[in-house]
Chain A
């Protein structure tokens, strides 16, 4: 996983944890606070929106299955007002469609329950690092551009130098994920979880094959990559600067 680094600003980042499970609200905040975060809690989506209205946090951790206002609806409402506010979704076991939906609806990351709290910390740090760069987050953008390469997310289309570049759905999802997290190295296992969703049942071969497909379609040279770099022993990284298009 990404190496732990100091919080992005001297002030302790403020995290809003939204979960209807009292045990999680009880035990997760101390873990996060020990790692230098300030944590507020909310028990459901409506509660979370009120809390955000009072004081804007640096990041929201949002459970999907909640009474009153569920996580996905809450995310849509957050996105309507705050394009920049990063959100990590906590999805439920057995809801594989949540994964794709979560990223489609502009979550910055998602984590399957049950998760290791340290994994959540690593994800929080990665998301905070991204937003600390001061550029608009790419997660909520409808289209992304990297030089002559443009991807249209709702339409699932890739255009390279004006010409359509057809990709299989999984290759598109993989390119989309890497492109919306430029300059970050992702291990194959993490990509499998995100794009395929079958944690560890499909071998990492699946990732390598799709990367090869993307490179073939984009005419990207693995030895001198314009877009996708293989980081030996670590995974893959999108190296070209990306902007909202």
Chain B
């Protein structure tokens, strides 16, 4: 409310007086007017008059610029706050993920020396190793040099589906692929084929992982203006609306996913790759009904 008033005030100040003046003059003129006024002055004052007119005209511009700057500052503060918040959440999750294996190691060390003890220490250190490996993947995907070629999304999608059929449980899902052939197939997109393949495999394996036997998993493709859109949809368990933003954060997982093995890094990884390709990844979900992941990839890069 206060923000709206803040934005309306400069508009009122700038437009108010001339509008009021115009209305008053109009009424006066209709009423017969007051006769002509002749203003006699020296030509030397013309520059002063011109300067004053320009200054008056500049007022709205200056005020607009000031509000725009204030708004940008506010948005920046908002983004910073969001970043800090995300970092805090990541650190607390990291803390949680590190605590358990370390606790396991320390507990095992306090136990009597035995094969069982060694096995526990080994298993817990493996957990730490794989956590570290997962975190590293994100960093690598964000920084590795992309090897760009013209990638055929249809061929890649078919191949990803073929790969996913080998995954345990995939045989019990109704997997289907819908890619356009008429009037023409999906156009090629510039991209790193290995990484884009990873995106599709990741998305499909999520769909398989978070659905039940008998559920449908669909991969659909279409071209729109300057993009190729790939949708990976399932009739699986879905995600509660309040948990939806969480799945995009490193190590963040929905509460229903806790019983299912996973790193909580699949979607952040996927988004990192898609964004490096100048695209977007959006997840829509209906709890108990399923989810649709929409990937939009540009058909050409402005800078390539």
Residues of A at the B interface (CB closer than 8 Å) are 93-94, 96-97, 114, 168-170, 196-203, 205-206, 209
Greatest chain B CB density within 10 A among A198, A200, A201 is at A201
Sample (20) of A-B pairs whose CB atoms are under 8 Å apart: A93-B136, A94-B140, A96-B144, A114-B128, A168-B147, A168-B149, A169-B145, A169-B147, A170-B194, A198-B140, A198-B144, A200-B133, A201-B141, A202-B194, A202-B198, A203-B163, A203-B197, A203-B201, A206-B193, A206-B197
Number of A-B contacts (CB under 8 A): 53
Chain B: residues with Cβ within 8 Å of the partner, total of 25
Q: Assess whether A206 is in contact with B194, with CB atoms less than 8 Å apart.
A: yes
Greatest chain A CB density within 10 A among B125, B133, B141 is at B133
The B interface, classified by DSSP as helix, strand, loop or mixed, is helix
Residues of B at the A interface (CB closer than 8 Å) are 125, 128-129, 132-133, 135-137, 139-141, 143-145, 147, 149, 159, 163, 193-195, 197-198, 201, 269
CB distance from B235 to the nearest CB of A (A): 26
Alpha-carbon distance between A205 and B144 when the two chains are bound, in angstroms: 19
Residue of A nearest to B140 (CB): A96
Beyond A93-B136, A114-B129, 12 additional pairs, beta carbon < 8 A: A94-B135, A96-B139, A96-B143, A168-B147, A169-B147, A170-B147, A201-B269, A202-B197, A202-B198, A203-B197, A205-B163, A209-B193
Residue in contact with A201 in the complex, picked from B143, B147, B163, B198, CB distance below 8 Å:
B198
Contacts of B269 in A (CB 8 A): 201
CB distance from B197 to the nearest CB of A (A): 7
CB distance from B97 to the nearest CB of A (A): 15
Contacts of A97 in B (CB 8 A): 143
Contacts of A209 in B (CB 8 A): 193-194
Contacts of A197 in B (CB 8 A): 140, 144
Contacts of A199 in B (CB 8 A): 133, 137
Q: Assess whether B139 is in contact with A94, with CB atoms less than 8 Å apart.
A: yes
Contacts of B139 in A (CB 8 A): 94, 96
CB distance from B270 to the nearest CB of A (A): 11
